[in-house]
Structure 1
Amino acid sequence: MSGGNSLAGRVRRIGRGFAVTAAVGTAAGAAATVYGLWEKNQFVLREETLPILPAGFGPFRVLHVSDIHFVPSQRRKAEWLASLAELKPDLVVNTGDNLSHASAVDPLLAALRPLMEFPGVFVPGSNDYFGPRFKNPASYFLGPSSQRKDQQKLDWPRLRSGFGMAGWVDLTNRCQSLVLKGLRFDFSGVDDPHLGLERYAGWPRGTRGRDNDPHLRVAVAHAPYQRVLDHFTEDGADLLLAGHTHGGQICLPGYGALVANCDLPTWRAKGLNNWDSNGRTTPVNVSGGIGTSRFAPVRIACRPEAVLLTLTSRT
C-alpha cells in the first residue's frame, strides 16, 4: 500500500487539516480582537423621539449616559464625554457603572464637568461599588455575572459626592420631584438590581392628589431586570431608563446581541422599546453603554453610545 493511501498518510493529512483550521481560527480571532479594540472608541450618539409629554410642553432633551467604565488613561473617551455638553440637554440621566479603575474618580469627574452644568439625576451600578476582575468572556453565556466577596472596593462615596455637589440628584432607592422648563418631573430610582439592592421608594409624596397637574413620571435603574421593569410599569411610570447590558458588547451583524447579562431578552439589550406588564405599557430606553470592563476592552457590531431622547407633546 502506498504512503498516500496508508493509515499513516491519512493521519498526516488530517493533522495538516487541523493545523490549517487552527491557524485560520487564530488569525480570525486576532483580527476580531484588533477590530474590537478599534470599535470600542468609535463613540456615537443615538437619537430618539418620544411623544410622552403633556399637551403644551416640549420639546425636552434628555441625555442618557451609562456604563462609562472609566480608566484614567482614556483620553479619547474623556474628550468625547466633555463634548456632549455641546448638545445642551435639558436633563442628564446617568444610569451607573461609571468606573473601571480605583484611580478613575477624579479624571471622570473632570471629563463630566461640562455636562454637570446641566440638571441631572443618577443611580449606581455594581462597577461604581466594586472594581472589575478578569473572567473568561464565555462565562457570560452561562447567565448573568456574579459578584465575588473579595471584590476591590471603589470610592463610590466620593464620586456620589462629586455628582451631588454639581447639583445632580441621587436617586439611589429614592424619589424626588424637579421642575424643569415649567414641567414637574417625578423621579423614582433604585440601587443596582444586578446586586439585588433595589428598594422601591414609590413616587414623591408631595405629588399625591396632584395627578391632574401636568407632570411626567421617570423611573431610573442600572440593570433592566424584568422584575424592575414590571414594577415601574405597573406603578405608572411614563418612561424608564436603564443600562448595564452594553448592548451585548459583542454582537453578530444582522442578528444583534448574544447576551444581555440579565434576564432581559437579548433583542431588547439596546434601544427604545415598550414594556408591557399587567395591562400597562411603559417605554424603556436601554443604553448600549459607553465603555467596557478594562479586562474585556473590545466591542464588535455594538459601538459605544450616549442617547439623546427628545421628548415631545402627546398631541
Structure 2
Amino acid sequence: MKFNMKILFIILIIYMLFEIIYFKEDLITIKSKKINSNFKIIQISDFHDSKLINLKRLKKSIDKFNPDIIVLTGDLINRYTKKYENIENLLKSIEGYKVFFVEGNHEIDNPDKIIYKVLEENNIVNLSKSSVSLNIKSQKINLYGNSFGKHNVVNRKLNLEEYNILLSHNPNDFLKKQEGFDLVLSGHTHGGQVRIPYFGQIVDHGMKFFPKYSKGLYDVSNTKLYIDSGLGQSLPIRIFNRVSYTNITISAK
C-alpha cells in the first residue's frame, strides 16, 4: 500500500508540473456584422511572474498566429514581485506587435509600482483607465480598458455602430454594470485552477461554489464575454486546467 501511495504521489506531481509548465493555445472565433475583414487578437492573462513558461515556444506560437494586436489582461506580476526579469523576457517575446495592457489586483497591490515603468520602456500601452481607436484592415476597432475593482472606470459613451472591445481583468467588473460592448476579454479567475470535468470551477474568489462565469466564451445579453484561464498562477496548483493563452479571430458574420 505504501509503495502504491508513493507511485500515486509521484504521478500527481508529474501531472501537476505538466499542467503548470506546458501551456496550450486556446482558439476561439467570434462573428460580427460589424466586421468586414478578419482581425486577430492574442490574449495573455495572469502570467503571475512565472518562471516556468517556455518563452521561446510562446514566441514561436505567437508569430505563427501573427495577431493584429496582443492584449495583456492583468496580473503580469504577483503582489510581492520585486525582480522583473521574467516580465522583461515575456515582453521581449512579444515585441514588434501592438500590445495593450490593463492592470489586475496584483499590479494594484504591489507597493513598488515598477511594473508601469517596465511596460512603458517596452512600448506597452496601458489602457487601465483609458481607450484607443484602431484602424485594423480598414475597419475601426475601439479598445477600452478597466482598472480593477474600486479603481474601475465604467462611464463610457460607446458608438454602437462600431466594434467595441473592453479589457477588464475581473469579469465581474463588467457583469455588475453591463455596457454595450461587442466583446469583453477578462482573466482573474484562472478558470478556478482546479476544475471538475463537466462541472467546471469548484469555487471562485468570493467562495461561491460552481460559479456561472469562470472560463471560456459566454453570451451576456448582446455581448460576448471571454474569460481566459491564465498563463501562470500565484499558487502552483492546476488540475484539469492547463496554463494557456488564447488566439482570437473576429470575422464577418
TM-score (norm 2): 0.86
153, 163, 187: which one aligns with 1:216 = 163
Structure 1 residue 169 corresponds to structure 2 residue 125: yes
Aligned residue identity for 1:90: D
Residue number in structure 2 paired with 1:46: 26
Partner of 1:242 in structure 2? 186
Q: 1:16-35 counterparts in 2 under 5 A?
A: 31-35=11-15
Distance 1:23 1:178, change over 3 A: same
Report the CA distance between 1:162 and its aligned residue: 3.1
2:229 aligned to which of 288, 291, 310 = 288
Contact 1:50 1:309 in 2 (8 A): yes
Count residues with an aligned counterpart.
Answer: 250
Whether 2:102 is the aligned partner of 1:123: answer yes
- Once the two structures are TM-superposed, the CA of residue 247 in structure 1 deviates from its matched residue by 0.8
Unaligned 5+ residue runs, structure 1? 1-19, 132-151
Alpha-carbon separation, structure 1, partners of 2:157 and 2:141: 10
The whole-number CA distance in structure 2 between the counterparts of 1:27 and 1:257 is 27
In 2, Cα distance between the equivalents of 1:200 and 1:264? 27
SS of aligned partner of 2:77 = coil
Runs of 5+ consecutive residues of structure 2 not aligned to the other structure: none
What pairs up with 1:6-85 in 2 under 5 angstroms? 31-54=11-34, 57-71=36-50, 73-74=51-52, 76-83=53-60, 84-85=62-63
- Greater fraction of residues in helix: 1
Q: 1:48 to 1:264 in 2, by over 3 A?
A: farther
- Asked whether the 8 Å contact 1:289–1:306 carries over to 2, the reply is yes
Whether the aligned pair in 1 keeps the contact of 2:191 and 2:214 (CA below 8 Å) is: yes
> How far apart are 1:182 and its partner, in Å?
1.3
Equivalent residue number for residue 156 of structure 1:
115
Aligned twin of 2:216: 271
Report the CA distance shift for 1:265/1:298 in structure 2 as closer, same or farther (over 3 A). closer
Counterpart CA distance in 2 for 1:68 and 1:123 is 13
Query: What is the CA deviation profile of residues 204-251 of structure 1, one whole-angstrom value per residue up to 9, with x for unaligned ones?
Result: 7xx6xxx55xx21111100111x52242x3x31010000001111012
Whether 1:200 and 2:139 are equivalent positions in the alignment is no
Amino acid in the other structure paired with 2:55: A
Q: 2:229 is paired with a residue of what secondary structure?
A: coil
Could you say what the CA RMSD is over the residues aligned between the two structures, in angstroms?
Answer: 2.8
Aligned residue among 70, 73, 96 for 1:92: 70
> What is the rounded CA distance, in whole Å, between the counterparts of 1:187 and 1:313 in structure 2?
18
